[in-house]
Amino acid sequence: MTRTIKRIAVFCGSNFGRGDAYKDGAAALGRAFVRHGIGLVYGGTNKGLMAVLADAVLAGGGSVHGVLTTRLHGKGHLHPGLKDFEVLPTMGTRKARMAELADAFIALPGGIGTLEEFMEVWTLNQLGEIDKPGGLLDIAGFYAPFMGFIDHMIAESFLPAAHRGSIVVTPDAEALIEGLVSYRKVDVPKWM
């Protein structure tokens, strides 16, 4: 079984991170979106990895839909190349709209906001409120410590082991997209 994925919401840093690996990985993901005909839904800003990703999709002629808050728009953070964008009043409405627009989710490296956004959609999938696969683009091993913490949750009996496999984790953009398209929902209950 394969899923039809027309748009993916990407959560990622509004900073570039240290070195070029994160920028290169974000650009590679953008190019992969274009090759697969997948539209990007993202936070709509011109900052950090968010801008790198959007620039790569736009440069390839792909579709980009930005969703940003009134506050960020007022600070001049709207990506100047966007023709398709929405300005919403709060982060909560922004996240809900991104989830509504997307068929799947990816997190690139980023800070606490990136992690919070991804954890929300992972939780919604776990609880059965949505059925939209998610994945981590593990550039330069960025998410290895996080997945170690997930393993700790499993070891301490707070998370069923099958739920570790309920997201796709890979450093390769093509493999990540393929994993999302072929994803099968984990049917192991959350409660142990």
**Could you tell me if residue 191 is inside a domain?**
no
CA distance 81 to 61: 12
The pLDDT value recorded for residue 131 is 95
CATH of residue 140's domain is 3.40.50.450
**Could you tell me if residue 192 is inside a domain?**
no
The pLDDT value recorded for residue 47 is 97
Helix axes 112-126, 91-101, angle to 10 degrees: 50
**Could you tell me if residue 187 is inside a domain?**
no
- How many domains does one find in the chain? 1
The pLDDT value recorded for residue 191 is 84
How would residue 122 be classed by pLDDT, with cut points 50, 70 and 90? very high
**Could you tell me if residue 2 is inside a domain?**
no
pLDDT 10s digits, 68-84: 999 999 999 999 999 99
Can you give the pTM of this predicted structure? Answer: 0.96
Closest CA to 64 of 48, 76, 79: 79
The pLDDT value recorded for residue 71 is 96
**Could you tell me if residue 86 is inside a domain?**
yes
**Could you tell me if residue 46 is inside a domain?**
yes
90 CB neighbour count, 10 Å cutoff: 11
pLDDT 10s digits, 168-179: 999 999 999 999
The pLDDT value recorded for residue 48 is 98
**Could you tell me if residue 1 is inside a domain?**
no
Q: By residue range, what is the domain housing residue 145?
A: 7-180
> How much is the mean pLDDT over the chain?
96
pLDDT 10s digits, 13-39: 999 999 999 999 999 999 999 999 999
pLDDT 10s digits, 36-68: 999 999 999 999 999 999 999 999 999 999 999
The pLDDT value recorded for residue 175 is 98
**Could you tell me if residue 68 is inside a domain?**
yes
How would residue 133 be classed by pLDDT, with cut points 50, 70 and 90? very high
The pLDDT value recorded for residue 190 is 84
